[in-house]
Structure formats: structure tokens, C-alpha cells
Amino acid sequence: MKRRRTGIAIGAIVIVAAAVAIAAMCLGWFRPETGSDPPVSGGSRSDVTSTPAATPTESGGNTGNAVVTRQFKNENDYIMMTGAMLPASDRRTPKEMLRCETPDFTKAKEGGLTVTWFGHSSSLVQLGTVNILIDPVFGDRSSPVSFVGPKRFAERPVTAESLPDIDVLLLSHDHFDHMEEQTIRATVDKVKQYIVPLGVDDILKNWGIPEDRITALDWWEETTIDGVTYALTPSQHNSGRGLSSMTTLWGGIFFRDDAHSVYYTGDGGYYDVFARVYARYGEPDLMLTECGQYDTGWSMTHMFPEQSAQAAVDAHAKWMIPVHWGAYCLCNVAWDDSIIRVSSAAEEKGLNLATPRIGQTVDYDEIANYRERWWEEYD
């Protein structure tokens, strides 16, 4: 009996330790190793080297990481864990699955702008007839494995199979809730080009994406594809899909054609970068702003909702849609805390805030019609 109890106790400890490790990987909590080479700011191409890894095997638990020798850092002094965490809310997930709408990708038109939010940060933006897929994550869990990790609490309005052909797939960084291997692999035949931060290209190549279809950018670098110009902008965040971190770059993406511009912030804490993006590129017609998964425990890594609203004000955004919420719970606050607070902050600041339902395809010419407080339908 004593041996049995000991075995049960050891098993419980192993399970808890594994769960904590997986949660840490999902949030990118691992710090760079102490004593490593000094990080480079933003990853200047002349200062960053990489060693391509052998193609990883298909064994269980493979994260698809490339072996790299680079280290990146934020523009400001940065501490990943900044204090005690908020107490866990008893409403971290809704009591029922959030319902979704059926997207209408046929709304795309020359000179137009449409956006479909799929939950969390996954979105499809159509600039004219150019289809731009952002941080697609369609799995049941935001996790490197299928059996544990934050579980999706919203219906999926789209699958890899039901997506239209994608002209450009944008990735803001390599965290599991933004870069999902199964989705990348499932959409490879639909995607013409990939635009990613430095180092993320190594991961894609290890997953079998042809190198000639990938463009890797440093902060403030630009590339133009099919009449749309894309620029990688800085953000205050981190990267990591395993025991190493900060070995790939992260950022936001500002993209524009002759008619419209969109600024996707990616993940990151609040600082003066949003005003600098405005100074360089002008006011975006639409800003997809990170607004969720925040905590006092990592206050430099994600914005609180009031900061998200201020970021849109700093960027002079004509309209803002909050993202990074509404699908997975990666923090301790209530699932609807972010949208309630950012709605109040937007009203106080005179900010145009659109709140489409998950899966609704929004024509920018009619964006003022998408301000429904639909989350109040759920507990």
C-alpha cells in the first residue's frame, strides 16, 4: 500500500510538472540561457547567424524548432516576469462554446478592404482581391500536443480546407497560439508566399515549406508582393517554442496597398512604438490590436485593455478591432474582461472600435455597423 501511494504521488508530480512546462512553453516563459552571447537588437542581418537544423523527425512532441545561434532582444530593458500574478477568475472560460458566423470571402473587391476575425489573433484580411492570412491557429488546443493545454472555447468558423487560396500568410512570432504546425502543414498547398520575422523562416523550412516562398524580415524592413507592401514593426515581446527562447524575432506588421492600410500589432507590451509606426507610415485605416492574455505577472509582455486603446490612439487608427481574445484562455482574467474594458476605454478616448462576431466578414465601408456587444449573451 505504501509503495502504491508513493507511486501515485510521483505520478501526480510528473503530470503537474509536465503541465506547467507545457503552459510555460505556450506562453514563451523560458528565459535565454545566462552567459550566452549578447543579444542583438532586432536582429540586424549582419549580426545574426543561424545554423540550419536537420529536418526533424515526425516523432511525438516535436516542435519543429530550427537550431540557431542567434539571440534577439527588445528595444527597451525587458523583464519577462514582472511580479505576482492576478488571482484566477472563476470565469476564465464561458459556460458554453462561443458561437461563430459563417464567413463570406466573396465580399472582396478591387479597391476594397474586408476582414474576418476567426478568434484569438487569427484573421483573414482582403486588400482588394489579395487574401492575407494572419497567425492562423485552428486547433482544439493552443499547445504543442493535442491532449493537454488551453482548450478552444469558441466554435471554428473556418478550417484549413474551407479557406480560400491565400496570397500571403503572415506570422508575427513563433508562439504556439500564433504559429500552429498542423495548420501550417494543412494549408501549404493554398499559400503562395509567407512573410515572417527573422528566424521563423528556419522553422517553416523544417516543416517543408519551400525556401523560395518565404520572406524573412527584420524590424522596419519592407517587401512588396502583388501590389501590397508589408513592413515588420517592433513590439515588446519574446519568442520560443521549447527550452530556448529569444532565438527568433517577433513583431507587428503594417501592410498597405494604394487604397487601404492595416496595422496588426502582434503581441507585446505598451510603449512608444505605436506613435513611431504612425510617424513612419501614417494612420492605418484598420488596426488589429492585441487585447487579451495580460497579467501583472508579465506586464511588459502584453498590453492591458486600456493600453490597447491608447496604442490605437497613438497610431491614429481610424478603426480598431481588438484581437488576441475570444478563443483560448492563457491568463487568469475572465474571458470577456478584455473586451469589456477596452470598449469602455475606447468610448472615453473617442476611439472608433468595431467588435465583429467571430467569423463575420466585415466590409470596411460598412465597419460602423459592427459594434454589437455580443459577448453579453454569454456567462
Average pLDDT of span 112-117 = 98
- Residue 89 and residue 333 in contact, taking contact as beta carbons nearer than 8 Å: yes
Confidence band (pLDDT; 50, 70, 90) for 360? very high
Q: Is 149 inside a domain boundary?
A: yes
Predicted pLDDT at 91: 98
Query: CATH number for the domain including 301?
Result: 3.60.15.10
Predicted pLDDT at 138: 94
User: Which tens digit of pLDDT belongs to each residue from 289-306?
Assistant: 999 999 999 999 999 999
Q: Is the pLDDT assigned to residue 331 strictly greater than 70?
A: yes
Q: What does the block give as the cell for 148?
A: 493537454
Average pLDDT of span 111-120 = 98
Q: Is 342 inside a domain boundary?
A: yes
Predicted pLDDT at 242: 80
Average pLDDT of span 161-181 = 97
Confidence band (pLDDT; 50, 70, 90) for 195? very high
Confidence band (pLDDT; 50, 70, 90) for 40? very low
What distance in Å separates the CA atoms of residue 297 and residue 83, rounded to the nearest whole number? 5
> β-pairing, 123-127 with 130-134?
antiparallel
Q: Is 99 inside a domain boundary?
A: no
Q: Is 161 inside a domain boundary?
A: yes
Helix axis angle for 337-349 and 305-314, nearest 10°, is: 40
Q: Is 326 inside a domain boundary?
A: yes
Phi, psi angle pair for 70, to nearest 5° = -90, 160
Predicted pLDDT at 243: 79
* Mean pLDDT over the full length of the chain: 86
Q: Is 92 inside a domain boundary?
A: no
Q: Domains in the chain: how many in total?
A: 1
Q: Is 315 inside a domain boundary?
A: yes
User: Which tens digit of pLDDT belongs to each residue from 90-103?
Assistant: 999 999 999 999 99
- Residue 248 and residue 197 in contact, taking contact as beta carbons nearer than 8 Å: yes
Domain range holding 220?
A: 105-377
Q: Is 10 inside a domain boundary?
A: no
